[in-house]
Structure 1
């Protein structure tokens, strides 16, 4: 009888909401004026959009 292994469950990453990207405000100048937003890699899930449920 072969034993089936359970597939590990994953949970959607809360900071990026499963997209793998987060938006950051771009600041310029000495007074740190906000000029727009730039997307970057989510550091919580490293761009995967999912985190293991065991964490």
Structure 2
């Protein structure tokens, strides 16, 4: 008789996180004021990560 066992599947590997935004999909920038000098203030603004476009995944994963 052949042994019949329960087959288990391995979970799919998790895609790597974006290195620029650490997987959050957002980056922060300092707010600059002033026409000539453009001095930075204590305020911050968030925006989409330009590398992964807000997905949080690495667009060029190492194979």
- TM-score by length of structure 2 reads 0.64
Partner of 1:25: 30
Structure number with higher strand proportion: 1
Partner of 2:5: none
Q: Deviations over 1:1-54 (max 9, x none)?
A: xxxxxx685210011000000001110102211122111100100000012525
**Unaligned regions of 5+ residues in structure 1, if any?**
1-6
Partner of 1:15: 20
- After superposing on structure 2, the runs of 4+ consecutive aligned residues of structure 1 that deviate more than 3 Å are none
RMSD over equivalenced CA pairs, Å: 2.1
1:34 and 2:50 correspond = no
**Unaligned regions of 5+ residues in structure 2, if any?**
1-11
CA distance in 2, matches of 1:40, 1:19: 11
Partner of 2:53: 46
Aligned residues: 49
